[in-house]
Amino acid sequence: MRLALIAALLGVISGPLAVAAAEKGQVDWEHRTVRCTGSGAANLKDADGNPAVARIGAEKAARLDALRSCMETLQGVELESGKTVGSALASDSALAGRVQGLVRGFKVVGKPRYFSDGGVEMDVEVSLSGALSEALLPRPAEVPAVPADAGAAGGATSLVVDARGQKLVPALAPRVRDEAGRELYGPAVLADAGRRAGGAAAYAPDLAAAKKALADRVGPRPLVVRAVRVEGSDLVISAADATALSGQDPAFLAQGKVVILAD
């Protein structure tokens, strides 16, 4: 029964932008969340035979299991092309401690499931936006400051890169390059607001979905370009599109207003 419930949960959030990263967890790139299941068994012996006390213990165990599941899932997430969150945490103990503290603040989704044997299961969710995104994104020596009115003069309000039909690996810090290899966009250009946006780019299955679910990030005048190829999590655009991008006010890039269309 418990396996069926876990399978049902994973089925609900599966799809082209949901990447399984651990046995009991998934990353939903479209909504920028990590979703996991934690389970805990009741121990009547340690609870002196008191079912209520045993259930409290089972709930605590389920929370600890959810934390482990979320950390395992997060560690499998691509941070940037060729580098996972796990490898970044392994090389930086201070970052690992900070990230675990942030993940510990997960939100319980729905109601916990209680079983006749006293066991408990709960589904939890961790947002990749906000403090977690800010902590994980590679940080340049100097973070740029930008005005809040990106695109106000009539230029583009965002960059939308269409990578559908290609084998793209979703990541927290994807980069956009031109065909000569010059980096046009990446975490180094992000201001503080952009670093908190939930990764250097958001993901959507198509432009209509992006405009609906990511209206604040897309804005009314997106510059839509096509990826001529992908390299892991990075995208390469044509010289003509690179020229069009370079002619825009870069403020929207510093705010992280970049969306990738992927299937």
Q: Where are the domains of the chain?
A: 2-136, 158-261
pLDDT tier for residue 118 given thresholds of 50, 70 and 90 = confident
Alpha-carbon gap, residue 231 to 254, rounded angstroms: 22
Average pLDDT, integer, range 132-157: 73
How confident is the model at residue 207, as a pLDDT?
96
178 half-sphere exposure, CB direction, 13 A CA radius: 11
How confident is the model at residue 1, as a pLDDT?
38
Alpha carbon 255 to chain centroid, angstroms = 17
pLDDT higher than 90, residue 145? no
3-state secondary structure of 115: coil
How confident is the model at residue 191, as a pLDDT?
87
pLDDT digits (tens, 9 = 90+) for 163-209: 999 999 999 999 999 999 999 999 988 988 888 887 899 999 999 99
In whole numbers, what is the pLDDT of the chain averaged over residues? Answer: 86
Alpha carbon 239 to chain centroid, angstroms = 29
Average pLDDT, integer, range 78-96: 94
% of the chain with per-residue pLDDT over 90 = 65
Beta strands in 62-131 (DSSP E): 78-80, 83-84, 107-114, 120-127
Lowest mean pLDDT among 120-129, 148-157, 234-243: 148-157
Average pLDDT, integer, range 66-75: 95
How confident is the model at residue 144, as a pLDDT?
61
Average pLDDT, integer, range 67-82: 94
pLDDT higher than 60, residue 148? no
Q: Quick one: tokens of 163? A: 């990578």
The residue count of the chain comes to 263
How confident is the model at residue 176, as a pLDDT?
97
CB atoms under 10 Å from CB of 22, counted, come to: 18
